[in-house]
């Protein structure tokens, strides 16, 4: 590891950046250096600007991705190299809002039933049953499962916040069966090294393999199970505030978007077309 990279990591640690953010920022600077084949501290503002425009125009990266890379570069120049504020221009555009494709309850059943590996099935069941992010489920420990209160404790989730979510009875039975065979020592779902958690990438691969086996063609990765949890809870009549707390959303606005995804919410609304008094189409020539 170069001195410059270590200095950047140290600066991010001092500011409390998450490990994933540190990795993304370091990767952004490494790619900038690789593009020009020179040390990043030797690359001037004009070259940086040209690089960002290349990402946007030629490599067709999304506007959001370019903004994230610009933030990493800005941090590197200002906080690591001690330069004055660097202004990087990116073509402005409206942020695209895309709704995820939601798995139906039947599709979740097929997904989980397609798994023959006990560890893999328990991992995905836990993700869905608690509405967990992938980074949260892989870091779960046995002590986080509170069978007395029927809750799962998520330690230092997104935004460095602790929270609780529900522990389903069926999941508790599954976890007990899993425990009898695997006896995890530290993390509930360990990786190749028993004292380290399963990687996020491995969890994603497990989900995609199960999705293929179940014949599910909807887009989305393992985070789809979290979306499905929130949507199915809303359709079951659970109020938005409770779902917000279990999901760990800072704002109720983040939770309210599931109103757009709930089939129950849509089916309860009558279209104005259905209110019109029209002749039956069979009477038309």
> Active-site residues: which are they?
133, 158, 223, 226, 249, 258
Residues 181, 187: Cα–Cα separation, whole Å: 15
What is residue 152's three-state secondary structure? Answer: strand
Is residue 199 within 8 A of residue 138, CB to CB? The reply is: yes
Q: Where are the beta strands (DSSP E) in the chain?
A: 145-146, 151-154, 163-166
At how many degrees (to 10) do helices 223-235 and 118-130 cross?
Answer: 50
Cα–Cα distances in Å, from 282 out to 271, 273, 278, 285?
21, 17, 11, 8
Distance CA 122, CA 169 (A): 13
């Amino acid at each position: 590891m170069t001195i410059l990279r270590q200095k950047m990591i140290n600066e991010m640690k001092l500011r409390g950046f998450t490990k994933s953010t540190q990795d993304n920022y370091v990767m952004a600077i490494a790619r900038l250096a690789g593009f020009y084949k020179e040390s990043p501290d030797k690359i001037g503002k004009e070259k940086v600007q040209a690089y960002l425009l290349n990402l946007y125009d030629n490599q067709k990266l999304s506007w959001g991705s370019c903004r994230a890379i610009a933030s990493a570069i800005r941090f590197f120049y200002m906080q690591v190299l001690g330069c004055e504020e660097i202004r990087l221009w990116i073509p402005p555009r409206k942020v695209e809002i895309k709704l995820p494709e939601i798995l139906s309850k039947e599709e979740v059943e097929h997904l989980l039933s397609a798994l023959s590996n006990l560890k893999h099935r328990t991992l995905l069941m836990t993700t869905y049953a608690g509405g967990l992010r992938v980074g949260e489920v892989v870091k779960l420990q046995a002590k986080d499962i509170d069978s007395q209160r029927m809750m799962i404790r998520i330690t230092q989730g997104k935004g460095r916040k602790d929270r609780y979510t529900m522990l389903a009875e069926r999941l508790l039975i599954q976890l007990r069966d899993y425990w009898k065979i695997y006896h995890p020592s530290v993390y509930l779902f360990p990786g190749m090294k028993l004292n380290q958690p399963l990687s996020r990438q491995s969890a994603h691969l497990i989900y995609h393999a199960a999705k293929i086996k179940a014949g599910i063609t909807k887009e989305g990765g393992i985070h789809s199970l979290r979306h499905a949890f929130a949507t199915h809870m809303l359709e079951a009549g659970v109020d938005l505030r409770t779902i917000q707390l279990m999901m760990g959303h800072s704002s109720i606005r983040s939770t309210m978007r599931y109103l757009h995804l709930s089939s129950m919410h849509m089916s309860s609304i009558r279209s104005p077309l259905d209110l019109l008094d029209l002749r039956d189409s069979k009477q038309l020539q």
